[in-house]
Copies of this chain bind each other. A is one copy, B any other.
Amino acid sequence: MTDGTKVGFEVLHKDVRTSARRGVLHTPHGDVPTPVFMPVGTAGAVKAMPNGTLEELDVRIILGNTYHLYLRPGYERVERLGGLHQFMSWNGAILTDSGGYQVFSHRELRSISEEGVQFRSHLDGSKNFFTPEKVIDIQRALGSDIAMVFDDCTEYPTGYVDAEASMELSTRWARKCREQWQKKDDGSTALFGIVQGSVYPELRKRSAGALNELGFSGMAIGGLSVGEPKDLMYEIVECTASLLPWDRPRYLMGVGTPEDLIRCIAMGVDMFDCVLPTRNARNGCLFTSQGRILIKNAAYAEDEGPLDPNCSCGTCLRYSRAYLRHLFLAGEHLSAVYNTLHNLTFYLDMMQKIRQAIQLDSFGNWLEQMENGEG
């Protein structure tokens, strides 16, 4: 069910000391306060997190992976079943990526041409071909609130010439995506552009310029968190964010740690997604206000305290570190369930506090404390 709202964005408040913005993203499936962290629901489900729990945590938007849903259960099937929202019984907003990054990650299985990317399924080895047009058609069939253009993602390091060629290809694909999207544009799905250009400010500038000219409902920063040093990533995020339209949401793809989120929010980023909280949870790596915990550690074998005394998630309120360690070592399904609940709560609570801090113009102080190691 949608209320007919089109995707739109408002900046509600700009922090006094940093470039952080407090805003709201309007979507046909509800409003999303920004800055926002979007839990990753790769295959039509946020791993180990029931939808009801996501709702209890007031999650307003999740990310779906076009590549994964295309391969299984298939986008035509999802379309016949009423689209992704209905298929997975999720009435909040959904952003789908374009599959560009997944195809990039399985690079031994792909080959790129002007027309698109041929790749082999990691599930059964079958040959598939993604074009910019097809990727838009798939996302439309899925019924995403926000679709992403198909882009070519470079690895790190990549030389300037190759990065330039890749960025220019991404720009041509972005144009094709936009044209394909416009053919059926009824306002139900917004399309975001993706700035590429590896770690070269000059290329980022040209990419952003070309995409700004085309005009998108939102702009993403892609091609980062692929192995480059942290400082370089921050540098590129900062210079790229400053090139993006003020009145459109800015989405940093696939990043990152709690510290990354805080720093990049200070640079003016509004949207994030990352598998880190959910994947780490399944691997027994837990974020707490006192740092990371590896729950399998023998130190926790008889630790009766909660994961994080400052957390009020269902896991911390009820279970001890000793019990969570036991569940992890015993390979119980509940280990993933309880750990994911905690890690996602940690991220979502942090974002909630950041939104408040921006609103109160105290975000700069918080950032300073974190940089001084007091965060």
B-contacting residues of A (Cβ < 8 Å)?
A: 43-45, 47-52, 72-73, 77, 80-82, 87-89, 282, 301-302, 304, 314, 318-320, 322-323, 326-327, 329-330, 332-334, 336-338
For A68, give the chain B residue with the smallest CB separation: B330
A329 pairs with B72, CB closer than 8 A: yes
Given contacts A72-B326, A330-B72, contact A338 B81 (CB under 8 A): no
Given contacts A72-B326, A318-B89, A330-B72, contact A77 B47 (CB under 8 A): no
The residue that A326 contacts in the complex, of B73, B80, B301, B333, with Cβ under 8 A, is B73
The residue that A336 contacts in the complex, of B301, B322, B333, with Cβ under 8 A, is B333
Chain B residues positioned under 8 Å from A327 (CB to CB): 44-45
Given contacts A77-B302, A323-B87, contact A332 B52 (CB under 8 A): no
Chain B residues positioned under 8 Å from A320 (CB to CB): 81, 87, 89
**A48-B334, A89-B320 given; 4 more Cβ-contact pairs under 8 Å:** A43-B330, A47-B334, A48-B332, A50-B334
A72 to chain B, nearest CB (A): 6
In angstroms, Cα B304 to Cα A43, docked, is 18
For A43, give the chain B residue with the smallest CB separation: B330
Q: List 5 A-B contacts (CB under 8 A).
A: A43-B332, A45-B330, A49-B334, A72-B329, A77-B302
A312 to chain B, nearest CB (A): 15
A333 pairs with B330, CB closer than 8 A: no
For A51, give the chain B residue with the smallest CB separation: B318
In angstroms, Cα B88 to Cα A81, docked, is 40
A48 pairs with B322, CB closer than 8 A: no
B89 pairs with A319, CB closer than 8 A: yes
A334 pairs with B45, CB closer than 8 A: yes
In angstroms, Cα B323 to Cα A80, docked, is 13
The residue that A89 contacts in the complex, of B49, B50, B77, B323, with Cβ under 8 A, is B323
In angstroms, Cα B304 to Cα A73, docked, is 14
B333 pairs with A337, CB closer than 8 A: yes
A301 pairs with B73, CB closer than 8 A: yes
Chain B residues positioned under 8 Å from A88 (CB to CB): 323
In angstroms, Cα B332 to Cα A336, docked, is 11
Q: Which of A43, A72, A314 has the most CB of B within 10 A?
A: A43
A81 pairs with B302, CB closer than 8 A: yes
A44 pairs with B323, CB closer than 8 A: yes
In angstroms, Cα B330 to Cα A314, docked, is 27
In angstroms, Cα B294 to Cα A276, docked, is 34
A80 pairs with B330, CB closer than 8 A: no
In angstroms, Cα B322 to Cα A374, docked, is 49
Chain B residues positioned under 8 Å from A82 (CB to CB): 304
Chain B residues positioned under 8 Å from A89 (CB to CB): 318-320, 323
Chain B residues positioned under 8 Å from A302 (CB to CB): 77, 80-81
The residue that A337 contacts in the complex, of B87, B282, B314, B337, with Cβ under 8 A, is B337
In angstroms, Cα B301 to Cα A363, docked, is 49
Chain B residues positioned under 8 Å from A333 (CB to CB): 47-48, 282, 333, 336-337
A337 pairs with B81, CB closer than 8 A: no
In angstroms, Cα B82 to Cα A72, docked, is 46
In angstroms, Cα B52 to Cα A246, docked, is 45
Q: Which 6 A-B pairs have the closest CB atoms?
A: A48-B333, A43-B330, A73-B326, A89-B318, A333-B336, A45-B332
In angstroms, Cα B334 to Cα A176, docked, is 37
In angstroms, Cα B68 to Cα A257, docked, is 37
In angstroms, Cα B322 to Cα A82, docked, is 12
